[in-house]
């Protein structure tokens, strides 16, 4: 036997060996939402069950068909960044994201500067999704430009409005040299950021990731652009009832703002440092309808396929899903199509598994909402409570599944499926599991 042949079996063994996939757990939550700040504030808002939707006070909405939104009214960025010079370099969009990221680390009991930190800066990255980035700040500065000229415009404008500004500010402030990616996949952005971060850790590309979504869209032109296409609710006299997923009288989504960031870690690393664990991400799926910019594919088949992909990667059958957190945007077309998609995936089980959507509480923060809902799903494992679909009073006959109405359910579940669907036909789903 020649030397070359003698080594061939060993070389072939290495050639065929697949890298061991990592388990990915959620160890920290940070949230800046209309119903509460921090993981504690967010959960208190969920349990309180009171809608945060109100008439807009950020600007005069009188010219618009829609005049309501879910604002974050009690956020002070100086609670998180004490250096005024640094704060002036960031708009509201980046401030939301950085605060949520810092909360997630604090919640996870991970001090990046401590000797006990098991991660090098190169092993931690940041994936943040946002539909519109710093566009509201750009609108504000454009007004200044029109009235006072270019010399009055902030020199930070160009560095504040691009979609990656939030994730880069997080990386700079926290010293993260790992992968840093922003996506702008409409209302699925936060979910996709989490899914891609999950895949990166799972495949060994990073050991920990800060991932989630952020949106700060409450400015006249941005808001008005959605009002013009009649995508938003015009229930201006009863703002607390404006967002009513799966209800017969729903008439559009309600815009919101905020951020949610989760700390994802390799399971083994989290155990070694005795980190608190909410649950784990088990699977992720994303597809595109390739049909229309605003309307979902009528048969819901690609939305259904994203769910099947998430369940397949998770190794779950539909019968093993304990709860579904629906996208539930409160738009006439989307809620009906999501119902059809759920029936395709779950069949008769779709009439039995508990399903709800939480946007009636916190509104629809576009690219951040999937991250809001991922944080809520994580908290469900800790508190064993399934939230109801706020404002679902008169169910649409075409949305006839087992949607939780009125009161939440005190119930322990081991697996959750969460959906996000957005403009452009973008679909995404995440499967979560309890860590026993």
Enumerate the active-site residues.
Answer: 187, 327, 364
**CB-based contact 278:382 (threshold 8 Å):** yes
Which of 278, 214, 255, 217 is CA-nearest to residue 39?
278
* Distance of alpha carbon 356 from alpha carbon 402, whole angstroms: 8
Q: Where are the alpha helices (DSSP H) in 134-266?
A: 135-148, 157-160, 165-174, 189-202, 220-228
Pairwise CA distance, residues 2 & 7, whole Å: 9
Dihedral sign of CA atoms 212, 218, 221, 226 in order: positive
Rounded to whole angstroms, how far apart are CA atoms 228 and 236? 15
Dist CA 220 CA 13 (whole Å): 62
Tell me how many degrees the CA angle 20-280-411 measures, rounded to the nearest 5.
145
Residue 159 and residue 339 in contact, taking contact as beta carbons nearer than 8 Å:
no
Name the token pair of 58.
Answer: 């950020």
418 touches 429 (CB < 8 A)? yes
**Two tokens, residue 245:** 């997923």
Q: Give the phi and the psi of residue 252 in degrees, each rounded to 5.
A: 140, 165
Tally Cβ neighbours within 10 Å of residue 113: 7
What's the start-to-end Cα distance of the chain, in Å? 52
Residue 392 exposure: Cα atoms within 13 Å on the Cβ side = 29
Give how far Cα 46 sits from Cα of 38, 42, 90, Å. Answer: 12, 6, 29
Helix (H) / strand (E) containing 410: strand 409-410
Phi, psi of 97 (to 5 degrees): -65, -45
Beta carbons within 8 Å of 120's beta carbon, 6+ residues apart? none
Helices 301-314 and 332-346: crossing angle in degrees, nearest 10, is 50
- Spatial neighbors of 304 by CB under 8 A, at least 6 apart, are 340, 341, 342, 344, 345
């Amino acid at each position: 036997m020649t030397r070359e042949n003698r080594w061939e079996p060993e070389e072939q063994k290495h050639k065929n060996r697949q890298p061991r996939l990592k388990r990915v757990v959620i160890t920290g939550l940070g949230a800046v939402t209309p119903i509460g700040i921090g993981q504690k504030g967010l959960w208190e808002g969920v349990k309180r069950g009171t809608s945060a939707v109100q008439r807009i006070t950020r600007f005069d909405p009188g010219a618009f068909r829609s005049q309501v939104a879910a604002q974050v009214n009690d956020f002070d960025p100086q609670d998180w960044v004490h250096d005024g010079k640094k704060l002036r370099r960031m708009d509201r969009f980046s401030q939301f994201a950085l605060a949520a990221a810092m909360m997630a680390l604090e919640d996870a009991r991970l001090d990046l500067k401590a000797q006990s930190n098991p991660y090098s800066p190169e092993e931690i990255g940041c994936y943040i999704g946002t539909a519109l980035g710093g566009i509201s700040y750009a609108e504000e500065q454009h007004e200044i430009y029109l009235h006072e000229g270019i010399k009055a415009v902030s020199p930070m404008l160009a560095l504040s409005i691009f979609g990656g500004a939030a994730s880069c500010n997080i990386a700079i402030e926290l010293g993260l040299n790992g992968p840093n990616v922003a996506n702008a996949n409409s209302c699925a952005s936060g979910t996709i950021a989490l899914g891609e971060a999950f895949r990166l850790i799972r495949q060994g590309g990073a050991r920990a990731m800060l991932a989630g979504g952020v949106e700060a869209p409450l400015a006249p032109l941005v808001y008005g652009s959605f009002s013009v296409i009649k995508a938003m609710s015009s229930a201006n006299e009863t703002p607390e009832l404006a967002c009513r997923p799966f209800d017969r009288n729903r008439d559009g989504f309600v815009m919101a703002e905020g951020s949610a960031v989760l700390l994802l870690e390799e399971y083994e690393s989290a155990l070694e440092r005795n980190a608190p664990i909410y649950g784990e991400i088990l699977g992720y799926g994303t597809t595109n309808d390739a049909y229309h910019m605003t309307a979902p594919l009528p048969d819901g088949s690609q939305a259904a396929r994203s769910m099947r992909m998430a369940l397949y990667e998770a190794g779950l059958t539909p019968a093993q899903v304990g709860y579904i957190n629906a996208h539930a945007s409160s738009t006439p077309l989307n809620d009906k199509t999501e119902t059809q998609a759920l029936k395709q995936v779950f069949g008769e089980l779709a009439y039995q598994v508990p399903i709800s959507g939480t946007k009636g509480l916190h509104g629809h923060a576009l690219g951040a909402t999937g991250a809001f809902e991922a944080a809520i799903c994580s908290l469900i494992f800790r508190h064993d409570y399934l939230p109801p679909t706020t404002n679902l009073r008169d169910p649409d006959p075409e949305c006839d599944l087992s949607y939780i109405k009125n009161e939440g359910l005190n119930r322990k579940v081991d697996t959750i499926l969460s959906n996000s669907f957005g403009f452009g036909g973008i679909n995404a789903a995440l499967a979560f599991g309890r860590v026993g």
